[in-house]
Amino acid sequence: MLLGQKRYSSVAVALHWAIAVLILTQIASGLYMADLPNSSSVKFDLYQLHKSFGLSILGLTLIRLGWRLAHKPPALPSFMPGWQKLIARLTHWAFYALMLITPLAGLAIVSVSPLNVTTLWFGLFEVPDFPFFNGVADRAAAAETFVEVHEYLAFSILFLFVLHVGAALKHGFVNRDGVLRSMAPRVVALIGVALIFGALGLAAFSYLQKSGVVERDSAVPIDVALPDTTPADAAAVKPAAPPVTASAPLNNDSVAPEVVVTAEPLPQAALEPEPSPTQTMVSVAPPPVWTVDYPASTLRFIGEEGGAQFEGQFSEFTAQIVFDPGNLGASSIRVGVNPASAGSGNPFRDDTMKDRAWFDVKKYEGAQFTSNTIRKTGANAYEVDGTLTIKDFSHDITLAFTLDIDGDRAHAAGGVDLVRTDYGLGMGASWLESEKVALAVRVEFEINAVRAD
């Protein structure tokens, strides 16, 4: 005996096939992106699209469940054994439960994660996090737990999917009882599937356009050193924040990688050394103050992740320079850096650098360097000894740089090699074992300045 009510409604069929395809795509993309290193230029966008499609599955499942409760499905063949009917019903309701719980587990990962990455549905509107994770002490461990739960749920769906397909094929080609044909898509259902994927496709395309994926993919590969930023390139960056001084706290709320914070030099009187008794007979002019041309200056960092070199820069920094090659004893350099402005062209890496395990930008205002002594080491070559402070860690370092002064304009370029763990950056074992982020970091600068007096 065949089915009495022969077919599911076109709405049910369209939702059935659209959700099935989306689930398979989500599982495949999840397995793929999980194995990508953080240095991958597409990992961040894949995660954002994965979340958006997962939330779409959640919404479509709610519609499908509502439709299922309001519209009675075709009856199973009367000759089916009772235990087979029971398994069929349990499988269907298990599918519904998993299709609801799995996306919610994914949202739980985002909500408890210490990375604090906002969930935007295809970049169009914000999806709020769950509010009940605020009191979690070890958010990283909790996020890892939800990741495992999310994976187990996804594989459970895959298991039921295989079981479901096997049963459908048995009904269609062995029993020939019409069960398979009852869910076969026809014209109206196919139009419905096309509309669903058309809408989601447009939303995904809109996100990819806004995120600039095409531009990033056409850029220099991450496994080679990126070219230095030229003054002409940097000049296109416009100041977008009020001036600050070295004594003022850096603005951690402004983290846009294309913002340059200008700085006003400290008053000369505050930086001039007190005259000693030996100076009463001879008048020595104090070193001049130099005003940094920030759009034409850069502060870069070079690191290595997974064996591939990457480069980035801090777009927000201040420098107070009082310098005279003929009076190095009275010269001084003070630099403040906003770590939240670090940008490497990889959103996932850049968000991670703001995390508690790295710069912890929510707790610490910034990094500071203060010179102690400056000495000349050769023609136009200098070294400056000073103290670098990042978070609660301070160490003495030596910066080597070259300096060219032409009238009232000066150009300096140099750098220093640092060990990131000396400053409590990336202390977790996973940063050495899983992601293989090198300990050595090279910091380089190119400063263009104008004499202020």
The pLDDT value given to residue 7: 86
Which of these, 313, 375, 303, 365, lies nearest to 344 by C-alpha position?
313
Q: Which CATH number fits domain 10-217: 1.10.238, 1.20.950, 1.10.10, 2.40.50?
A: 1.20.950
CATH number of 231-271+282-451: 2.40.128.110
Q: What is the pLDDT of residue 212?
A: 62
15, 184, 294 from 7: Cα distances, Å:
14, 8, 69
| Phi-psi region at 399: left, alpha or beta (left = phi > 0; alpha = psi -120 to 50) | beta
* Ramachandran area for residue 244 (φ above 0: left; ψ -120 to 50: alpha; else beta): beta
Helices (H), 335-383: 347-353
How far apart are alpha carbons 130 and 97 in whole angstroms? 19
Query: Strands (DSSP E) along 63-166, which ranges?
Result: 119-121, 125-127
- From CA 185, how far away is CA 19, in angstroms rounded? 13
For position 177, what pLDDT does the model report? 81
H helix runs in 221-291, sequence order: 231-235, 268-271
Q: How far is the C-alpha of 311 from the C-alpha of 221, rounded, in Å?
A: 11
State the Cα–Cα distance between residues 12 and 180, nearest whole angstrom. 14
8 Å CB contact between 61 and 99: yes
Sorted by where each begins, the domain ranges of the chain are 10-217, 231-271+282-451
Helix axis angle for 187-211 and 10-34, nearest 10°, is: 30
Q: What pTM, to 2 d.p., does this model score?
A: 0.56
Q: What is the pLDDT of residue 220?
A: 37
Residue 440 identity:
A
Return the pLDDT at 21: 96
181 close to 6: Cβ distance less than 8 angstroms: yes
pLDDT along the chain (453 residues), means of 10: 66 95 94 78 84 96 94 86 90 94 94 81 91 83 91 95 90 85 90 95 89 49 37 38 38 37 41 45 73 95 86 94 93 94 87 85 90 94 96 94 95 94 78 71 96 83
